[in-house]
Amino acid sequence: MVKEEIKNNKKYFVCEECGFAYKEKKLAEKCQNWCKEHNSCNIEITKHAVKF
């Protein structure tokens, strides 16, 4: 399960494996599943990550 964090009144979803944050829960879950399975990040997923 991804972690939810609120910063500046906005909700972000964080991959607990690599720490990347996303605006959409679905992307964070996709990232976390990839990280667990492959022990690496997928650039096609992480390109949607946001700074917060």
Residue 16: pLDDT band (50, 70, 90) is very high
Write down the domain spans for the chain. Answer: 3-46
pLDDT at residue 52 above 90?
Answer: no
Q: How far apart are CA 52 and CA 13, in angstroms?
A: 11
Distances (CA, A) of 32 to 8, 9, 14, 50: 24, 24, 9, 15
| Angle formed at CA 39 by CA 16 and CA 47, multiple of 5 degrees | 65
Separation between Cα atoms, residue 5 and residue 19, nearest integer Å:
11
The pLDDT mean for the chain works out to 98
What per-residue confidence (pLDDT) applies to 51? 93
Q: Which pLDDT tens digit goes with each residue over 20-47?
A: 999 999 999 999 999 999 999 999 999 9
Cα angle 15, 52, 22; round to 5 = 35
Cα 47 to chain center, whole Å?
10
